[in-house]
Structure 1
Amino acid sequence: MSTDVELKALRWRCRRGMRELDQLLERWLDRCWAASSDADRETFRRLLATEDDKLWRAFLGHDRLDDDETQTLVERIATLAP
């Protein structure tokens, strides 16, 4: 898959129906994707497969995700300044 096509697909998957989640995920995609390792990119893809309610609770710090890598990425995304 070409880079542009993949980025468009990922941007679409960042649209969660909750504006706050959309902004968090898109911020990481815009700022960090290009410089990320293949492992971080795969973790982001797994993160996008997480249910919205679980994801939002993880961002708020109310719950932890089962996968340590995705939890770490959530914590990194949460620290990105708007």
Structure 2
Amino acid sequence: MTEIHSKARIRWACRRGMLELDVLFMPFVEDAFDSLSVEQQAIFQRLLTEEDPDLFAWFMGHKECKDEQLNSMVQLILDRVRV
């Protein structure tokens, strides 16, 4: 699979059932994904496999993600939004 197809799949996976998540993921993948390390890119892709209600709770601060890697990615995305 070429990088272009992979990026297209990631963009598609960023389209969620909740506008609040779309607003976080779409700009992040466009502006920051390419600058992530290979490991961070894999963690981001794993984050996209999680269920929308869990993602929403993590990003809105209603509950903390117990997976350290996913939690660090959530924080990275939130930090970029706050800038």
With structure 1 as the length reference, what TM-score do the two structures score? 0.91
Instruction: Name the residue aligned to 2:42.
Output: 42
Per-residue deviation, 1:46: 0.8
Query: Identity over the aligned pairs, expressed in percent?
Result: 32
Q: Which runs of 5+ in 1 are unaligned?
A: none
SS in 2 for 1:50: coil
Q: Which contiguous aligned blocks of 4+ residues in structure 1 show a shift greater than 6 angstroms?
A: none
Q: Deviations over 1:18-64 (max 9, x none)?
A: 11101211121111111111110010011001110000000011111
Residue of structure 2 in register with 1:5 after alignment? 5
**What is the rounded CA distance, in whole Å, between the counterparts of 2:5 and 2:15 in structure 1?**
16
Aligned pair count?
82
Find the aligned partners of 1:81 and 1:38 in 2 and give their Cα distance: 21
Distance (whole Å) between structure 1 residues aligned to residue 8 and residue 18 of structure 2: 19
Q: d(CA) in 2 for partners of 1:63 and 1:39?
A: 25
Tell me the equivalent position of 2:62.
62
CA distance in 2, matches of 1:27, 1:72: 18
For structure 2, list consecutive stretches of 5 or more residues without a partner in the other structure: none
Question: Which TM-score applies when normalising by structure 2?
Answer: 0.90
2:5 aligned partner, one-letter code = V
